[in-house]
Amino acid sequence: MLQKQKGTLDIYGTDGIIYKYIENTIDSFMNLYNYEYIKVPTFEATELFYRGMGETTDVVNKETYDFVDKGDRKITLRPEFTAGVVRSYIENKLYVEGIKKYYYFGSAFRYERPQNGRLREFTQAGVEVFGVRNPKADAEIISLAYNILSSLGITDLVVKINSIGDSESRNNYSNAIKDYFKNDYDNLCDICKERLDKNPLRILDCKYDSERDFVKNAPKIKDYLNEESIKYFDEVKEALDLIGIPYVEEETLVRGLDYYTDTVFEIVSNIEELGKANTVAAGGRYDNLISLLDGPSTPGVGFAFGVERILILLKELESYIPKDKLDVFVINMDESGFAFQVIDDLRGSGFSCETDYTGKNFKNIWKVVDKLDPSYILIIGEDEVKGGYITVKNNATKEETKVKSSELIDYLDMNL
């Protein structure tokens, strides 16, 4: 039997309902915060991710799905959206339009060891805000992420924030931890040995070394932020306080990617089911990325949700709105085609409607009806067609009424 690939999911049944519920909730929040939808390609030139994300990040080193296509192009399936959205922003000269606020929703691909909440194809939903460097913009996206998760019914959340400073602060800090780690060079993992020269900050983010005491005791970025970076971070926190978003400062939070500056954050859930894969949203400011990808120097800030991780949480919490009830089921026992027209009219008037085309006997059709549990059941047989009426049964009260065909829509409008 053919089976799905390792680390991929079929989402159906209750999961399908929850997944769409998450997507719809995100859509309505994005509307509330005035974000524009952007859809970018699933695959891009490999070079985009190498340049955008840095060649020594975990994601680009080991996790990307790279291939050479039939035209000998080096292609990569997107492991995240930011690089692609920035490429699009530059290529389409969207910067001429002033501040842009985009949101996206779609698959991302990483060759990881699959486990609960860690997949090879997963869904990211997130935002990118271009053209504004202001602490309130950072606080706004953190609050947006937090409010979406809260409104989905996830309350057990921790917002972790930190500042990794502007380029100047980061350079000073980089030099300090380079010095610090030199003494422990032999104790670093092989990847971190390489990182020490190229980008020592990433050692703090390493899945292995970050657990170890000499890394935990390393100098903290906080002590290396210049005045402007400290002021910026203070203002982010003040803005979060103003709107009552709870947060904790996490000194060791650095995020793995090259392009982050100043604010970085993660939203973590403490629910057991997610195990180590408990970060449901992550993001930060990236004032250097757009110029790094040959665009005009433009500040940016964004975050991404892991939608399947949210799905696991909502399923566990049983926190979702079930699918809307079916308005009408039409039982058709007439050959004339009249019922087929009625169904079309009903759907055209906005009533959800189902019927049965398989020609099951009456008893078996009722089984289908019971399972679907519609609000109303319409019976259309020869008598009804001849008499110009439809038998309408209220499925809750079991009351039956004969309604003139021409008055059916009005009748349902009044009663539903």
Closest separation in Å from C-beta 266 to ligand ATP: 7
Q: How far is the CB of 300 from ligand ATP (least distance, A)?
A: 15
Closest contact distance (angstroms) between CB of 194 and ligand ATP is 19
Of 252 and 391, CB closest to ligand ATP: 252
Minimum gap (Å) between residue 160 Cβ and ligand ATP: 11
Nearer to ligand ATP, 259 or 389 (CB): 259
For 168-198, b/e burial (b = at least 16 CB within 10 A) is: ebbeebeebbeebbeebeeebeebbeebbee
The sign of the torsion formed by the CA atoms of 72, 74, 77, 83 equals: negative
| C-beta closer to ligand ATP: residue 154 or 280 | 280
Residue keyed to tokens 């996790």 = 63
Beta strand 100-109 with 36-37: parallel, antiparallel or unpaired?
parallel
CA distance 87 to 74: 16
CA distance 88 to 83: 9
Choice between 8 and 226, CB closer to ligand ATP? 8
Q: Mapping DSSP to helix (H, G, I), strand (E, B) and coil, where does residue 218 land?
A: coil
Nearer to ligand ATP, 106 or 381 (CB): 106
Least Å distance, CB 351 to ligand ATP, is: 38
**Paired tokens of 239:** 């803005």
Residue type, 185: Y
List contacts with ligand ATP (CB under 6 A): 80, 110, 112, 117-119, 122, 124, 256, 277, 279-282, 304, 306, 308-309
| Sheet arrangement for strand 66-68 | 43-45, 74-77, 66-68
* Closest approach of ligand ATP to the CB of residue 101, in Å: 19
Query: Distance between CA 402 and CA 410 in Å, rounded?
Result: 13
**Closest distance of CB 304 from ligand ATP, Å:** 4
Other beta carbons within 10 angstroms of residue 404's beta carbon come to 12
In the bound state, the residue with its beta carbon closest to ligand ATP is: 306
Between 26 and 379, name the residue whose CB sits nearer to ligand ATP: 26
Could you give the C-alpha distances from 414 to 174, 349, 409, in angstroms and in order?
69, 13, 9
Q: Which is nearer to ligand ATP, 160 or 393 (CB)?
A: 160
Which is nearer to ligand ATP, 259 or 351 (by Cβ)?
259
Q: Taking CA 110 as the corner, what is the angle to CA 86 and CA 108, rounded to the nearest 5 degrees? A: 50
For the chain, the residue count is 416
Per-residue DSSP letter, 81:
S
Minimum CB separation from ligand ATP for residue 333, in Å?
A: 50
Taken in order 165, 167, 169, 170, the sign of the CA dihedral is positive
Q: How far is the CB of 7 from ligand ATP (least distance, A)?
A: 8
* Residue 201 or 339 having the CB closest to ligand ATP: 201
